Structure 1
Amino acid sequence: MNSSQPPTPESPASRDTDAARTAAKGRPTRSRKEAEAARRRPLVVSDRKEARRRDRERSRTRQMEAQQALVTGDEAKMPLQHRGPERRRVRDLVDTRHNVAEYFFPVALVFMIVALVLPLIDQSLYLAMSTLLIALLWGGIAICVIDAFFLRRRLRAALTEEFGEVKRGLVGYGIMRAIQIRRFRLPKPQVKHGGAPVEPKKSRAKR
């Protein structure tokens, strides 16, 4: 005698219930295996153009933050070549003193403009003043070199005293900063001439 029972046919009510669930969601219910596979699928951007666009936006944001940090003095977001206590100390040492080069180069620019314009106005006057202009330019360059020599000695002495050594590139970093006009230096000076800290600019009160 066969004890196995024939399979019970699916009732119409059960079929109607499954059909109603599928119609309500708009799609058939996923199996457990399909759901687990979907969770393991990596979340990546398949569109390469979209990925490149996002990379450009992130890069632009980082550049804007770094540029703003050069103005505000936020060292954590500055470019790598300006970070570190040694470089901050070099900047402060340069910014506290009156460097000859920061005054000479604007004057030299005026001399060059005069040398270009003067022949168009008066050739004889240009011939008479050309020797004087050349002497002033070379004399100014010589004074800048001497001043840079004294700055180099001061930087090396201060860095050796505070940090025990002078890392490569620090002295050149300071001399290049000394050549620049003060208002155009980046990062912005955090000390005034003489060593007093620069006061943060106060926003104007709204009228």
Structure 2
Amino acid sequence: MFGRKKDEAAAQPAAAEELTETPTQGKGAPTPKRSAQVASRKRPLVHTDRKAARNAARAERLAAQERLRIANETGDDRYMMARDKGPQKRFARNFVDARFMAGEFLMFAIFAFLIFSLVMPSSAEIQVGITFALWGVLGITVLDAFIMTRQLKKRLAAKFGQVERGVLWYAAMRGLQFRKLRVPKPLVKRGQDVG
């Protein structure tokens, strides 16, 4: 019983020597006080140099606008607005841009009907004819958009499995814009197969 303690006591200094021989890894510096950590993270709510802060904010805003402009021209999803991001919306844009849409010229047609209604004599028959022609153009535009969205829905379901919410409305609204004024800019030519 007494011999056992002597063996353990002799074994402990050997173990202590082994521990001191292995290098200890630490952070190499004392832990900073909490007040020092809090002070290092503090930033003023209002910058002391307002002119420099305004210039920095303006430069950051201009850089973001430039990134967005380039993304709208090249189709880069990383910097596009949230409403234009995603593979389904890219496919919808290309699908609409490859077609000829009646809605592209809707605003021009409405402007022409407005001019005709002001220039033509104010007889009731002519005004009724102009009104019915305008309703006919609107009907053709709605029918064209409906047919396009049905075709797009089938293509999206075949390619992606399911259709994300809002993509068909996004495509219909793009179809109502004049091709040269569309943002993001069209990347496909009319009649091109979008796959």
TM over 0.5: yes
Partner of 1:192: 189
Among residues 144, 166, 169, which one is paired with 1:169 in the alignment? 166
Partner of 2:58: 56
Question: Where does structure 2 lack aligned partners over 5 or more consecutive residues?
Answer: 1-35
Partner of 2:148: 151
How far the C-alpha of 1:196 sits from its partner, in A, is: 6.0
How far the C-alpha of 1:86 sits from its partner, in A, is: 1.0
Q: How many residues align?
A: 154
Partner of 2:74: 72
Partner of 2:103: 101
Q: Deviations over 1:111-163 (max 9, x none)?
A: 11222343xxx444xx4421111011101111111111111111111111111
Q: Which runs of 4+ in 1 moved over 2 A?
A: 71-77
Identity %: 35
Match of 2:148, SS state, is: helix
Q: Distance in 1 between matches of 2:52 and 2:114?
A: 51
Q: Deviations over 1:27-50 (max 9, x none)?
A: xxxxxxxxxx9xx978x7642342
Give the TM-score taking structure 2 as reference length: 0.69
The code of the aligned residue for 2:102 comes to: V
Partner of 1:116: 118
Residue 179 in structure 1 maps to residue 181 in structure 2: no
Q: Tell me how large the CA RMSD over aligned residues is.
A: 2.5
Q: Distance in 1 between matches of 2:119 and 2:193?
A: 42
Q: Distance in 1 between matches of 2:176 and 2:165?
A: 19
How far the C-alpha of 1:186 sits from its partner, in A, is: 0.7
Give the TM-score taking structure 1 as reference length: 0.66
Q: Deviations over 1:88-131 (max 9, x none)?
A: 1000111111111113331222111222343xxx444xx44211
Partner of 1:202: none
Match of 1:194, SS state, is: coil
Q: Distance in 1 between matches of 2:110 and 2:174?
A: 18
The code of the aligned residue for 2:130 comes to: L
Q: Distance in 1 between matches of 2:152 and 2:59?
A: 40
The code of the aligned residue for 2:87 comes to: P
Q: Distance in 2 between matches of 1:135 and 1:69?
A: 42
Q: Distance in 2 between matches of 1:69 and 1:114?
A: 41
